[in-house]
A and B are shown apart, each in its own frame.
Chain A
C-alpha cells in the first residue's frame, strides 16, 4: 500500500530534550516536506526537500533541523524543544513539479512541557 508513515504518533517530552520524528514514504517520491498545524493558522511549512541531500527552509524553520540521506526518509529533528513547538506535525511527499498532489502522513502530536 502506498503510504507515508510517521513515528511516533504521540509524544510528550520536556523542554530541552532532543527528539526526532521519523517520516518514511514508499512511493519513490522526490519531494518531501514537514508542516506544523496550529489552530487558526492552518498548516505552515517547516522544511522541504527536493531530493537526497537537497533541503530548503519553509516559512517556520527556526528550532528545527532536517536531513535527507535516503530518498524514502525525511526525519525532523528538534535539538532543544520548547513549549512553543507543541503542535501537530505532518510529513508529506509528492513526485515532482508544481502541479503534483501531496500525500500526507497521519500526523504526530507533540507536547513539550
Chain B
C-alpha cells in the first residue's frame, strides 16, 4: 500500500539550533513529494517539493529537504530554527491510482516546538 510516515509526533529544538523533521514514503513509481506547514487556525501552506533533479530542494522561509531514494526518505531541515517556525508540518506524496486521476497522501503530521 502506498503511504507516508512521519515517525515523530513532536520535535523540540532550541532557537538557533538546526532542526530536522523526518518523512519516509512507500509508493510505486516516481514519487512527487511535498512539505506543507500549518499554523494555528490556518490552512496548510506550501513549503517545498521534489519532482526530479537535485536531491536537495530549497523552499520557503529557509527550509530545505533532502530526497534520498535508497532510504525512501524526504526529511525537512533548517540550519537555524526560529521560534516562529513552531507549527505543524505535513509531508505528502502525490500518487497515481490504477483507476486513473491522482491523489495526495499526507503523513500524520509532526508538531515542531522551537524554544527561545
Contact = CB atoms under 8 A, between A and B. Distances in A.
A, B: real partners: yes
B99 A102 contact: no
A56 B96 CA distance: 13
A74 interface: no
Given A42-B90, A42-B107, A42-B108, A99 B49 contact: yes
Nearest to A55: B101
Interface stretch (B14-22, B39-47, B61-69, B76-84): B39-47
Interface residues of B, number: 28
A41 B108 contact: yes
Interface string A50-65: 1000001011000000
* Binding site secondary structure of chain A: strand
Nearest to B95: A98
B56 interface: no
Interface string A102-113: 111111000000
B102 A98 contact: yes
A50 B108 CA distance: 25
Contact of A4 (B34, B42, B43, B94): B43
Interface of A: 4, 33, 35, 40-45, 48, 50, 56, 58-59, 90, 92, 98-99, 101-107
The 8 closest A-B pairs by CB, nearest first: A104-B43, A43-B106, A42-B106, A42-B108, A104-B44, A101-B46, A99-B51, A106-B43
